[in-house]
């Protein structure tokens, strides 16, 4: 009868346990750490300031709809650590997105957060794409929720005839946002036209035309 190797089992369990500690966020070391956004100290987050008040934990910016008279017919109003200094080290943030009829929150990613998305008004077509290029999409209405997994490309579009609005919550004080189109066609310095031409199987003149649409307005 084979002898069970308890030493090996304990070793494997300790390896898994240590790996979980390494990958997890650190526990808070104080009740609050209100961000000092003016500090020149560079850390993974923001250093704490000493003089804090209730206003450091308050933000009224999501109460009113954002203006949607822009190219994409949608506006994102953020509520991250840069707007609410009190969420520093708390691992949470929010955003409000307003959409005109036909408005779109273009394909983008949040590299540091999963997003849970709640429709306030109207209805929206939403979706995300996995690393296997599989699209998961659904039409969601007022009061319904959809989840966008961390770092995956996702989007929302209002195909209705009335405005729509939604709230998004993130498990990061600074989820980050990278627009797919902007990253490729409006980077600085620019991505070589040959790279974009071969990637999208289009001519370099078409690449230049697309880039011109993302150029800053003078």
DSSP assignment of 62-103, as one string?
Answer: TSSPPP--STTSEEEEEESTTT-GGGTTT--EEEEEEE-TT-
Q: Is 132 one of the annotated binding-site residues?
A: no
Measured N-to-C along each axis, helices 193-200 and 204-214 cross at an angle, to the nearest 10 degrees, of 110
Residue whose entry in the numeric block shows the structure tokens 């797919």 = 180
Q: Is 110 one of the annotated binding-site residues?
A: yes
**How crowded is residue 132: how many other Cβ atoms within 10 Å of its Cβ?**
5
Q: Is 108 one of the annotated binding-site residues?
A: yes
Could you tell me which of 179, 178, 157, 153 has the C-alpha nearest to residue 166? 157
Q: Is 158 one of the annotated binding-site residues?
A: no
As given in the structure block, the two tokens for residue 179 are 């627009």
Residues tagged in the binding site annotation for oxalate:
105, 110, 115
Residues tagged in the binding site annotation for Mn(2+):
108, 110, 115, 154
Residues tagged in the binding site annotation:
105, 108, 110, 115, 154
């Amino acid at each position: 009868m084979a002898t069970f190797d308890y030493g090996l089992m304990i070793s494997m369990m300790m390896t898994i346990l240590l790996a979980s500690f390494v990958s997890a966020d650190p526990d808070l070391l104080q009740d609050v750490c209100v961000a000092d956004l003016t500090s020149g100290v560079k850390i993974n987050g923001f250093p704490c300031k000493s003089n804090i008040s209730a206003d450091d934990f308050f933000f009224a910016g999501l109460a009113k709809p954002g203006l949607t008279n822009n190219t994409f017919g949608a506006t994102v109003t953020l509520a991250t650590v840069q707007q609410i200094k009190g969420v520093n080290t708390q691992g949470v943030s929010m955003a409000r997105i307003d959409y005109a009829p036909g408005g779109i929150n273009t394909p983008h990613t949040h590299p540091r957060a999963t997003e849970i998305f709640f429709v306030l008004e109207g209805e929206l077509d939403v979706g995300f794409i996995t690393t296997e290029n599989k699209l998961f999409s659904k039409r969601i209405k007022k009061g319904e929720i959809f989840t966008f997994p961390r770092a995956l490309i996702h989007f929302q579009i209002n195909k209705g005839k009335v405005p729509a609005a939604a709230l998004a919550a993130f498990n990061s004080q600074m989820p980050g946002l990278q627009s797919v189109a902007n990253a490729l066609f409006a980077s600085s310095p620019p991505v070589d036209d040959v790279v974009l031409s071969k990637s999208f199987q289009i001519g370099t003149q078409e690449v230049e035309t697309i880039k011109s649409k993302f150029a800053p307005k003078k």
